[in-house]
Amino acid sequence: FGKIFGFILIESSDPKIKNFIDYIIEEIKIHYSESQKSEMDAFGNFNLERSFETTLQKTNLSIARYLQIERISLDLNKIHALVGVLKEGFIYFTALGDINGYLLHYKLKNEYAIVNIYEEEYSRENEINPLKLFTQTIAGKVEKQDYCFFCTSNVMDYFSLDKIKNTVTQNNPQDIQRQCKTVLSSISLPKHFLISLIMPAVLAQTKKIL
């Protein structure tokens, strides 16, 4: 059924936000688990794309209902989130807020092409409807030797694309994590950074979230 991955960052001082984030994560997991039954045909084939889209639609409804019941006053422009699913080299994802995504596509002789697969597109002046929080779904193919790198856009203030490419493709997961944390933890201004890295299975047994 694939592997769900992602991250959520919400800029708010409201103490209810932590529970709200936990709620969103649980709702995504619950709805995706439920879709595994509804999107399986009589031959045992699982429609990954439709399952993911159904999960997002139901999660939007859950979020709108939660905000209304809990009476949380929240600027939805302050939500930065990535939700994706990966199965057998196919990836489907949606992003909200200041998120960047890059595919490091293997070419020849350990050379990689950097493909920009997502950058935040909406204007901060636009009002976001909770019922349409997660809408646009992007799909693609990740080859066996490719990497996917997602991050909040402020990470790019401290890393060039070439630096990301070299760090990711030339190190093991532990060293990547260490190098990223070394740079980002040295920032004097209080900021939050999120990174999600999908690595070739031959190099990493698990996906690392930094």
The pLDDT of residue 207 is 44
- pLDDT attached to residue 40: 66
> What pLDDT sits at residue 208?
44
Backbone conformation region of residue 173, classed left if phi is above 0, alpha if psi is from -120 to 50, else beta: alpha
CA distances (Å), origin 166, targets 80, 109, 124, 199: 26, 14, 32, 14
- pLDDT of the residue at 77: 87
Q: Sheet harboring 79-87: ordered strands across?
A: 3-10, 79-87, 90-96, 138-141
CA 27 to chain centre: 16
DSSP state letters, the chain: --EEEEEEEE----TTHHHHHHHHHHHHHHHHHHHHHHTB-TTS-B-HHHHHHHHHHHHHHHHHHHHHHHT----GGGEEEEEEEEETTEEEEEEESSEEEEEEEE-STT-EEEEEEEE--S-TTSPPPGGGSS---EEEE--TT-EEEEEEGGGGGT--HHHHHHHHHSS-HHHHHHHHHHHHTT-SS-----EEEE--TTT-SS-EE-
Tokens 């799909």 correspond to what residue?
139
- Taking the CA of residue 133 as centre, how many other CA atoms within 13 Å lie in the half-sphere pointing to its CB? 27
> What is the structure's pLDDT at 189?
79
Longest dimension (CA), the chain: 57
**Residues of the chain predicted below pLDDT 70:** 38-44, 121-127, 201-210
- Give 152: exposed, middle or buried? Use CB within 10 Å, 0-12, 13-18, 19+: buried
Question: Which pLDDT does position 203 carry in this prediction?
Answer: 52
Q: Please give the Cα distance from 210 to 208 (Å, whole number).
A: 6
In this structure, are residues 2 and 29 in contact, taking their beta carbons and an 8 Å threshold? no
